[in-house]
């Protein structure tokens, strides 16, 4: 075992033994919430100098859903959480921790998880946020797995919620066409059988932090008239740089997580990549030599919803009856930090 790097098992015999005896953590239910309001590429053509054709060919996005003025991130998270609890026929009292992955919190403090806790009327269970850009949902699964396996929690409510439309500069065509709002929640608990997380890989490189970040509003550049005037409370991104790193790191993470599971790309039933750009998704799929039918995409309908993107894909596959017991799912994400991670999961 390498510190911080998941399971690195070199010996095949040992790996097979581990496969048989290892305790697993599984997703026992999923709930998602997507706000009803839709913004199409045609709508964007009226707002900035862009075209439907440019957006589709460069990103794969046709439309995205936006929250309304009155909503905050925790409102989206709350809806998703309620749906996940309902699907599992559980009450919030059956859960031991609320963990929210987000980069667009309601407030800098307290955490969005505490606002969700208030909404769920779940007093006295721990609640905190995790910030890992668009990789936050996978980081959250990895953290939750370890809390469950070490006995700290029996069940974790993990929510990936993002309301990026309120930190997007709607005059910047390079970013405003990309993002959408949504939340996805899962309940994680110990698996009674072989289903669940088989392996993972996670890394970060803070040297590249300023290629994708929110420049102002924190302690580095507190809010001032000047920061507001310069639009520094909006997402700042060097898109083509992010693109190159995303393609490289998502490929590496997927291959490393598969190696740690003792599996090969051809063993994967469903590849669920973070939905940031169809060209990043296709390039990663090609690097893994996966046929397009194994690569799940819904970016055309939602855009990049950051941490909500993987649970949204999972729920669409589940609700569509496409997930069969024993299916091998490869989840893969990249985001601000930079952060990246992949999880190999047996359904
Ligand atoms: N409509 C029309 N033209 C646009 C445009 C838009 N919405 N946005 C940018 N352009 C223009 C640029 O101004 C540039 O024009 P120029 O050549 O005259 O200077 C041209 O298109 C190419 O810009 P570039 O940024 O090189 O395009 P790209 O092919 O890299 O695509 C992104 C831009 C943002 C779609 C792409 O880089 C991307 O998806 N990056 C990753 C973003 C991401 O995933 N972020 C989140 C990580 S989780």
Q: List CB contacts of 104: < 8 A, sequence separation 6 or more.
A: 73, 162, 163, 164, 166, 167, 306
Q: What is the mean pLDDT of residues 284-304?
A: 97
* Of residues 312, 345, 340, the one with CA closest to residue 250: 340
CATH class, range 197-207+237-346: alpha beta
On the question of pLDDT at 16 being above 80, the answer is no
Q: Does the structure show a pLDDT above 80 at 137?
A: yes
In the chain, which segments carry CATH 3.40.47.10? 25-193, 197-207+237-346
3-state SS, residue 154: coil
Closest CA to 317 of 307, 303, 327: 327
pLDDT, mean of residues 109-132 = 96
0.85 exceeded by the pTM?
Answer: yes
pLDDT tens digit string along 63-73?
999 999 999 99
Specify the pLDDT at position 2.
41
pLDDT at 7: 46
Mutate to test the pocket of ligand 1, among 135, 160, 174 (most ligand atoms within 8 A of CB): 174
pLDDT-based confidence at 149, cuts 50/70/90? Answer: very high
pLDDT of residue 20: 45
pLDDT band of residue 309 (cuts 50, 70, 90) is: very high
Ligand 1: nearest atom to the Cα of 173? 7
Cα 228 → chain centroid: 29
Q: How many angstroms separate the alpha carbon of residue 64 from the centre of ligand 1?
A: 17
Reply yes or no on whether the pLDDT at 181 is more than 50: yes
What is the pLDDT confidence band of residue 22, given thresholds at 50, 70 and 90?
confident
Which atom of ligand 1 is nearest the CA belonging to 334? 48
Check if 134 is active-site: yes
pLDDT of residue 21: 59
Under the phi-then-psi rule, with left for phi > 0, alpha for psi from -120 to 50, and beta for the rest, what region is 205? beta
245 labelled catalytic: no
CATH number for region 25-193: 3.40.47.10
Query: In this model, does residue 202 exceed pLDDT 90?
Result: yes
Report how far ligand 1's centroid is from the alpha carbon of 301 (Å): 19
> What mean pLDDT is reported for the chain?
94
Q: What pLDDT is recorded for position 307? A: 98
Q: Is residue 274 flagged as an active site residue?
A: yes
């Amino acid at each position: 075992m390498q510190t911080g790097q998941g399971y690195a098992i070199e010996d095949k015999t040992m790996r097979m033994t581990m496969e048989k005896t290892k305790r697993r953590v599984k997703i026992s239910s999923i709930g998602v919430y997507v706000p009803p309001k839709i913004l199409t590429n045609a709508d964007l053509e009226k707002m900035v100098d862009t075209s439907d054709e440019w957006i589709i060919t460069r990103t794969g996005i046709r439309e995205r859903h936006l929250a309304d003025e009155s909503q905050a991130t925790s409102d989206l998270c709350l809806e998703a959480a309620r749906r996940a609890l309902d699907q599992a026929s559980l009450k919030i009292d059956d859960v031991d921790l609320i963990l929210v992955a987000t980069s667009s919190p309601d407030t800098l403090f307290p955490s969005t998880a505490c606002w969700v806790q208030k909404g769920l009327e779940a007093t006295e269970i721990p609640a905190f946020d995790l910030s890992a850009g668009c990789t936050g949902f996978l980081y959250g699964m990895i953290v939750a797995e370890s809390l469950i396996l070490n006995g700290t929690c029996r069940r974790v409510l993990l929510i990936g919620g993002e309301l990026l439309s309120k930190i997007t500069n709607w005059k910047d065509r390079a970013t405003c066409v990309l993002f959408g709002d949504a939340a996805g929640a899962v309940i994680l608990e110990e698996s009674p059988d072989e289903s669940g997380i088989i392996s993972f890989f996670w890394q970060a490189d803070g040297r590249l932090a300023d290629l994708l970040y929110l420049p102002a509003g924190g302690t580095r550049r507190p809010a001032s008239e000047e920061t507001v005037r310069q639009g520094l409370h909006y997402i700042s991104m060097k898109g083509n740089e992010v693109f190159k790193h995303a393609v490289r790191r998502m490929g590496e993470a997927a291959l490393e997580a598969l190696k740690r599971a003792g599996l090969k790309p051809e063993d994967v039933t469903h590849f669920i990549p973070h939905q940031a750009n169809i060209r990043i998704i296709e390039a990663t799929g090609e690097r893994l030599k996966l046929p397009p039918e194994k690569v799940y995409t819904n970016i055309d309908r939602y855009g990049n919803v950051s941490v909500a993107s993987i649970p949204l894909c999972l729920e669409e596959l589940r609700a569509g009856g496409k997930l069969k017991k024993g299916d091998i799912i490869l989840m893969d994400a990249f985001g601000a930090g930079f952060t990246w991670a992949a999880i190999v999961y047996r359904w």
